[in-house]
Amino acid sequence: MIKAPENTWHHKRLRAEKRFRFYGASALSLAVLILVLLVGSLVWRGLNGFMQSQIQLPITFDQTALGAGEGADIHSLTPSHYMCLVKISLHQMFPEVADPTQLHDLYALVSTGGGISLKKTLQRNPAMLGQSKAVWVPVSSDADLYIKGVVTEKTPEIERSLSNQQIAWLKQLQEKKLVRRVFDRTFFERGDSRTPEEAGFLGAMMGSLLTLLICLAVVFPLGVMTAVYLEEFARPGKWVDIIEVNINNLAAVPSIVFGLLGLAVYINVLGMPRSSALVGGMTLAMMILPVIIITTRVSLKSIPRSIRDAALALGATPLQVVWHHTLPLSMPGIMTGTILGMARAIGETAPLLLIGMVAFVVDLPTGVTSSATVMPVQIYLWASSPEAGFSEKTAAGILVLLVLLLAMNALAIALRKRFEVRW
């Protein structure tokens, strides 16, 4: 019996299709693996950034040790005065330490924020003056890295800031159950600091909020009105075509160009305050204005022509048609585009660097004209700092920014699903 020849061409096509599917599945798996590794690394380091290590010290709130005489106002004392109490307590726990160099290393285990903690403790309960109480005080950034396991004894001493003697002191405190890890509330209560253990993210969050409010107040009415005019009232012609081409081109311009424009116009020409949320918001408004115009025009185009014709047939003016019919029906798409544009603005860094929002700002912003920074810039500053403790702060800040971005994108999707009308 003669066997029919196989369709070689057909089998080649099947093998090529299988290879294509394999390549596609491999690329997708590799992308997912890289994403999991990236997010996992950020989460692991970021969660450590949200935690703070503390040691328990028996503190005697002695007015003489504070450097205040009889009848002095203890509330007027600075945190450095309260750090004297911390040093006395540490010396009493390790009385064998007498060398000035070793004493300096011993005191370096505790953060300078310990004085702030003691001051707040005494302000909450003034009756503690003259009494002794066990108080938890934050440790320094280097000690915190050791307690969290980021730095170990196996790490070469040349690669870590803690000496072997400092590690021995920390181990003694751990054996006595005088070390704990708690949620770092100061991360969401303070502004930036030179020391990692005292650095907070609240200043950057408030700066981002003020900047986005200014940006939204400028770009939303301007973008929507421009799109309504171009779509509903402007007559087709050469000038309209030129405007449309320029709007589409501006949407593709690199963001740093808008930073240069903001520096030249708002700061150099108009004399607005440098490194302020006002200038930052108006610069970002220029950047996302083309996006808002384009998305609004797309939303307006999606409204059927029959709705406009019906309103005009009933005697409505063109302005009434837009105000009472076309604009309300297109608002879900407009809101979605606006939220996505704001999500892009909240993650921008380059244009804000050029207008001075890269400055080191410790105090929380009190208004739109005060010096401020934003979350992406704050993350950039921490990432470029040489101290190892800022790496965890960087990861924690990235997590906060990612959560906000995901929330804004989820809100845009929810609005589109909730109010979308299919014609």
Mean pLDDT of 389-395: 88
The H or E element spanning position 69 is: none
Is the Cβ–Cβ distance between 289 and 222 less than 8 Å? yes
pLDDT per residue as tens digits for the range 86-128: 888 888 888 888 888 888 888 888 988 888 888 888 888 877 7
Q: Which residues pair with 183 in a beta bridge?
A: 51
pLDDT per residue as tens digits for the range 32-76: 999 999 888 888 888 888 888 999 988 887 777 666 555 556 666
> In this model, does residue 373 exceed pLDDT 70?
yes
The full length of the chain comes to 423
Note the CATH number of domain 202-419: 1.10.3720.10
> In this model, does residue 1 exceed pLDDT 60?
no
Is the Cβ–Cβ distance between 180 and 54 less than 8 Å? yes
Q: What is the average pLDDT value for the chain, to the nearest integer?
A: 86
pLDDT at 71: 54
131 versus 22: the higher-pLDDT residue is 22
pLDDT at 290: 92
Helix, strand and coil percent figures for the chain, each rounded to 5: 65, 5, 30
pLDDT per residue as tens digits for the range 209-257: 999 999 999 999 999 999 999 988 888 888 888 988 888 888 888 888 9
pLDDT at 26: 94
Residue found by looking up tokens 């929330």 in the block: 407
Is the Cβ–Cβ distance between 302 and 331 less than 8 Å? no
Q: 3-state DSSP call for residue 296?
A: helix
pLDDT per residue as tens digits for the range 324-362: 888 888 888 888 888 888 888 888 888 888 888 877 778
pLDDT per residue as tens digits for the range 142-192: 888 888 888 888 888 777 888 888 888 999 999 999 999 999 888 898 888
The domain locations on the chain are 48-183, 202-419
> In this model, does residue 259 exceed pLDDT 70?
yes
> In this model, does residue 31 exceed pLDDT 90?
yes
pLDDT at 222: 93
pLDDT band for 135, please (50, 70, 90 cuts): confident
pLDDT at 228: 92
Write down the pTM of the prediction. 0.83
pLDDT at 164: 87
Q: Which residues pair with 55 in a beta bridge?
A: 137, 179
Question: How far, in Å, CA of 246 to CA of 290, rounded?
Answer: 9
pLDDT at 371: 86
Burial pattern 229-260, b for ≥16 Cβ within 10 A else e, equals: ebbbeeeeeeeeeeeeeebeebeeeebeebbe
Is the Cβ–Cβ distance between 339 and 408 less than 8 Å? yes
Tokens coding 303:
């409204």
> In this model, does residue 29 exceed pLDDT 90?
yes
pLDDT at 116: 82
> In this model, does residue 10 exceed pLDDT 80?
no
pLDDT band for 423, please (50, 70, 90 cuts): low
